[in-house]
Chains A and B, each alone.
Chain A
């Protein structure tokens, strides 16, 4: 039985997997049709015909994860690390009958590499589905508060 706590625990666990760089376990949270989306516009509706920073399926996310470990991935020498500070997720939908589970989570995200440290703020929206006993990510949408600002490299996942 999926409860609101199941959703909240899922989101905390996802952040923890990212912070501890358990990339494969993180990928395993995604539904085979899942997407990771970082819009480039305010309240953006269309990930495909409007510009996005990222709109990636599992294949592309695997490429990213595999790249991070690559012997010739020079932008990861030294390696990046990240930290998610999450506000308690707001449950937007928890409808077991319809199979709809959604939450929105305000966050502060830190990515660091070598002597550099960058901090980002925004909202993560999780659109989850039940597969067997577990939840899987159908869509993780990451809206930065300053999506239109020029950033340097963002190499990990918010």
Chain B
């Protein structure tokens, strides 16, 4: 039963000024439309260039649900393709990463392609002579994702041929990625290891919203962070130094006032971050030697500027979150309307002390792992919401906290840190990128 078709008005009506209809989380048709419209119209994170260090290196990813493949060509350039053989559709690469050598070879019929995607060879090629093969899309080799931008080694792609440019789409929000990279004395990040993967039986947007939901930690995480603080108080004895673990858990229990004053900044197109003035990451112990390295690399003033920017969570719409201060990127990969794969990556600050990497890895397993007690708290809430939203008694989700009637859309603003405005900002962007090509496509189909 198609409730929405490609009716842009019906889709837009799901988002009110400060409420959203539950169908955005529970309706399989809306999910299909997200895969068909929202994700292709958005700039989506594919991977990090350090994963493609040598020619022939490749990574695989999904944009929405479409499998893509990124490779490092012999000339050093990076290319993104749809991960399917132009012949019968077989995925060329099935592993998350690897090195393919000088060419990709389809395991089914041995068609081969250079690492820039061009067709290299087909066995018994003469069988295609005079067949018109030269005029087919297959003859062009791997279908390329044309709109690819690599910003400081972060590879983003937009599948739609037309749409908002990378620069206009992200604008000033790139400052969080910039800050994360600048935290390396060499201005360079490296992916050293596999991400932590965590399956969530909920809609992907619940995870994205939660990144700037500052009214839940002291409630939902009382069980984990609260217990950590309590047990440490009891067990610490004469110890004067708070262990790294307790430093990471403790700030989750900060009171409402802390989050209120720390602030939220919103940007156009659904991006935004918590922790403007300070954040839960502000008071970690100094790592010996690190500040000296940073001062040597950037000078006193700039080094303090970089390290003084301690943003909490930055949402890059639609589906990633970046934490510069602990070098983590979480990718909320939509699988189905009620199923989301979360991959949480840690970047190593090249040239920085091991201890920083140790802390980032520790944070990642404390908060983002299927074995994480903070993760257990959150997933329980998402699952309950996914179930609760099936109720017909009230079909709207309320996002009205600190709503003001004259709120402008697609602006940059700094607001009270407990506002739900970033969620409203996301849903404004959601409606925009869902519907921006719908009328056009309906016309084309008619």
Q: Which residues of A contact B (CB under 8 A)?
A: 38, 40-41, 48-55, 57, 59-60, 62-64, 66-67, 70, 72-75, 148-155
Contacts and interface: CB of A to CB of B under 8 A. Distances in A.
Contacts of B381: 74
B444 interface: no
Contacts of A52: 361, 365
Given A53-B369, A66-B227, A153-B370, A75 B377 contact: yes
Given A51-B346, A74-B377, A74-B380, A150 B194 contact: no
B365 A59 contact: no
A153 B379 contact: yes
Interface of B: 193-201, 220, 222-224, 226-228, 230-232, 235, 243, 245-246, 249, 341-343, 346, 354, 357-358, 361, 364-365, 369-371, 373, 375-377, 379-381, 384
A47 B100 CA distance: 30
Given A41-B194, A67-B224, A53 B231 contact: no
A40 B361 CA distance: 11
Contacts of B341: 150
B370 A49 contact: no
Contacts of B228: 60, 63
A150 to B, nearest CB: 4
B380 A54 contact: no
Contacts of A41: 193-194
B369 A54 contact: yes
A59 B198 CA distance: 24
Contact of A51 (B196, B226, B249, B373): B196
Contacts of B220: 74
B226 to A, nearest CB: 8
Given A74-B220, A75-B223, A59 B231 contact: yes
B365 to A, nearest CB: 6
A120 to B, nearest CB: 11
A42 to B, nearest CB: 10
Given A150-B199, A152-B199, A53 B371 contact: yes
Contacts of A40: 193-194, 196
A144 to B, nearest CB: 10
Nearest to B342: A150
A80 to B, nearest CB: 10
Nearest to A148: B194
Contacts of B246: 59
A53 B375 CA distance: 12
Nearest to A64: B373
A67 B193 contact: no
A62 B194 contact: no
A74 B197 contact: no
Nearest to A77: B380
Contacts of A62: 231, 235
B376 A153 contact: yes
B51 to A, nearest CB: 15
A75 B224 CA distance: 11
Contact of A54 (B232, B354, B371): B371
7 tightest A-B contacts by CB?
Answer: A150-B197, A75-B380, A73-B223, A151-B370, A150-B199, A75-B376, A67-B227
A97 B373 CA distance: 40
A128 to B, nearest CB: 23
Given A74-B381, A75-B376, A54 B365 contact: yes
B6 to A, nearest CB: 32
Contacts of B358: 48-49
B245 A59 contact: yes
A49 B357 contact: yes
Nearest to A69: B227
A70 B223 contact: yes
Contact of B361 (A49, A66, A152): A49
Contacts of A74: 220, 223, 377, 380-381, 384
Contacts of A151: 197-199, 370
B78 to A, nearest CB: 25
A59 B243 contact: yes
A67 B224 CA distance: 6
10 contacts: A41-B193, A49-B361, A51-B361, A57-B245, A59-B246, A70-B227, A74-B377, A150-B199, A154-B370, A154-B371
